[in-house]
Structure 1
Amino acid sequence: MSQIHLAIATDFTLAEKLLEALENSNLTFDKVSAVEIEPFGEEQNLRFGTKAVDQFELDNLDWSQFTHVLFAAPMAQAETLAKAAQAGCIILDLFGITSLIGNVPVIVPNVNNEALINLREHNIVALANPQISQLVLALQPLLDQQLHQNRLTSLLPSAYFGEEKVKELAGQTARLLNGIPFDENAERIAFDVIPANVQGEEKQLPFSRVFELQLAKVLPNLTASVTFHSVQVPVFYGVSQMVSV
């Protein structure tokens, strides 16, 4: 059996979380490394179990030394992802930035695993957006019925929009609880809800407007009958959904 050298390509914060999740899984690897999509600080070192994780900078990186890559980076890094795939790495695109490329499978585990037959065409498999994953898992037990109209309302936490939004919510919450006003021109997210489709940052998200197209790759027969609605809520973590069928 060939050895598995896994690379985690993302920022430091998410790399730590992914390593923790891998430690708690039953998966085994011969070696795990990190690729600094955003440069790590001098004091930012990673460990996998008891072992230090080798950390590689992007400049002049030889991707062929890795067999598999967990890639979690925005659309601006699409060229980097392409280089890794061209070097022969099997890429798990966690942000789904490749989900609109023809024949790149978009997967919800245990729902459409058969789509992995096309994996080697591009060496990439895209993970479905969490809104799509949760919707599909909710509807899967009902697929033997005729579903004519499905409405989805997703309640999105600050973490869905990135760590900076989490810090912004924490700061605003602390200021308001202590009676400290903040800039009246600042967008208020603490103790408030906001339609996610009018967020200024939404255009920077690699997955913000592709729900229908991702769903078409996972459950094609339902695409035309689903209406999406997203709301940002003042919580830090955890995507919740209301599905009406």
Structure 2
Amino acid sequence: MGYRVVVVGATGNVGREMLNILAERHFPADEVAVLASRKSLGTEVTFGDTTLKTKDLDTFDFTGWDMALFAVGSDATKIYAPKAAAAGCIVIDNSSLYRYDPDVPLIVPEVNAEAIHGYAKKNIIANPNCSTAQMVVALKPLHDRATIKRVVVSTYQSVSGAGKEGIDELWDQTKGMYVPGQEVAPKKFTKQIAFNVIPHIDVFMDSGDTKEEWKMIAETKKILDPKVKVTATCVRVPVFVGHSESLNIEFEDFLDEDEARDILREAPGVMVIDKRENGGYVTPVECVGDYATFISRIRQDSTVENGINLWCVSDNLRKGAALNAVQIAEVLGREVLKKG
């Protein structure tokens, strides 16, 4: 016997990717319901070889369903996630709404799967920010070996992290650059994104950090270790899919770069491609559609006592969102619900 699964926000980029990954990984679902807002009612989406029509989120009864993967914004989640949870359906939420709630576990299965049992307080599990998810997958095995003191991260985040509007704006601006008089003014982003980089994601806070930078700090502490110090600079770049990160990691204990490379090669969810030659590293276009978090450019940092630098790349629509949610569902089924 398998699970009855709901995908909320099934017509969006992340919702569609959730359905793709559920099918790819042969998730044991006996029944799948796909929900969307009224304006998308009846839209067809695919689940493996099956075509499903979206149902109305506003009137859907979650009673009798095992789990719901939410891929909608915080405003809609605030209304519908508690309804699903109250009906006995466990919510796996991709928005930021519950990430910092002490009664809601924030899960990256390769890092803190054991925290899954905390779901029972609210019947809700949170999925982390896309940039945090790939980073902690890389940090966890190194932290277990040498204890991380401090992380300095600079991100290079694709426009798909801003949704369909971000993708459209990059595409339209790029085309407009070659057609005089058809230039496209910034709308989704604060400045031109085509052929540019923007050191601003989400709103500014009183500290001078952006909310995206604060998220990486707070979420890393909750998922990995509250003692780890993190400072982040988050940058939007003209890439359609795939987030990249430059990590500078300072440890309590010395960690040789060769040992770090060996540890990461054995780590779950990680793929090391690290040759000191032209093209011996991974870039965003190469990670699209893949499950792994790719690590390259592993090297000693001689400017601190116990330092390592590395480059980290992942498909943000997969590991940063949909894949991580499905992996949480797999852990939930295996460790908690235990059907079949």
Q: Give the TM-score normalised by structure 1.
A: 0.87
Give 2:216's aligned residue. 211
Amino acid at match of 2:221: A
CA contact (8 A) 1:37 1:73 kept: no
Give 1:72's aligned residue. 71
Please report how far the alpha carbon of residue 5 of structure 1 lies from its aligned counterpart in structure 2 after TM superposition. 1.1
Aligned Cα RMSD in Å?
A: 2.5
Does structure 1 residue 57 correspond to structure 2 residue 56? Answer: yes
Q: Residues 112 and 71 (structure 1 numbering): CA distance in 2 closer, same or farther, change over 3 Å? A: same
Give 1:126's aligned residue. 126
Q: Residues 120 and 41 (structure 1 numbering): CA distance in 2 closer, same or farther, change over 3 Å? A: closer
Give 2:280's aligned residue. none
Give 1:82's aligned residue. 82
Q: Residues 206 and 146 (structure 1 numbering): CA distance in 2 closer, same or farther, change over 3 Å? A: closer
Q: Residues 146 and 86 (structure 1 numbering): CA distance in 2 closer, same or farther, change over 3 Å? A: same
The DSSP-based 3-state class of the residue aligned with 1:106 is coil
CA contact (8 A) 1:97 1:207 kept: no
CA contact (8 A) 2:74 2:96 kept: no
Aligned residues, how many?
238
The DSSP-based 3-state class of the residue aligned with 1:151 is strand
CA contact (8 A) 2:106 2:127 kept: yes
CA contact (8 A) 2:213 2:234 kept: no
**What percentage of aligned pairs have identical amino acids?**
26
CA contact (8 A) 2:68 2:91 kept: yes
How do 1:1-245 residues align onto structure 2 when only pairs under 5 Å count?
A: 3-14=2-13, 15-37=15-37, 39-40=39-40, 44-77=43-76, 78-143=78-143, 144-182=145-183, 187-197=191-201, 209-223=214-228, 225-245=229-249
Please report how far the alpha carbon of residue 181 of structure 1 lies from its aligned counterpart in structure 2 after TM superposition. 4.8
- Partners of 1:209 and 1:181 in 2: CA distance: 37
Amino acid at match of 1:128: P
Please report how far the alpha carbon of residue 228 of structure 1 lies from its aligned counterpart in structure 2 after TM superposition. 1.1
Amino acid at match of 1:56: K
Q: Residues 130 and 46 (structure 1 numbering): CA distance in 2 closer, same or farther, change over 3 Å? A: same
- Partners of 1:32 and 1:7 in 2: CA distance: 6
Structure 1 unaligned residues grouped into runs of 5+: none
The DSSP-based 3-state class of the residue aligned with 1:149 is strand
The DSSP-based 3-state class of the residue aligned with 2:97 is coil
CA contact (8 A) 2:159 2:237 kept: yes
CA contact (8 A) 1:71 1:93 kept: yes
Please report how far the alpha carbon of residue 180 of structure 1 lies from its aligned counterpart in structure 2 after TM superposition. 4.0
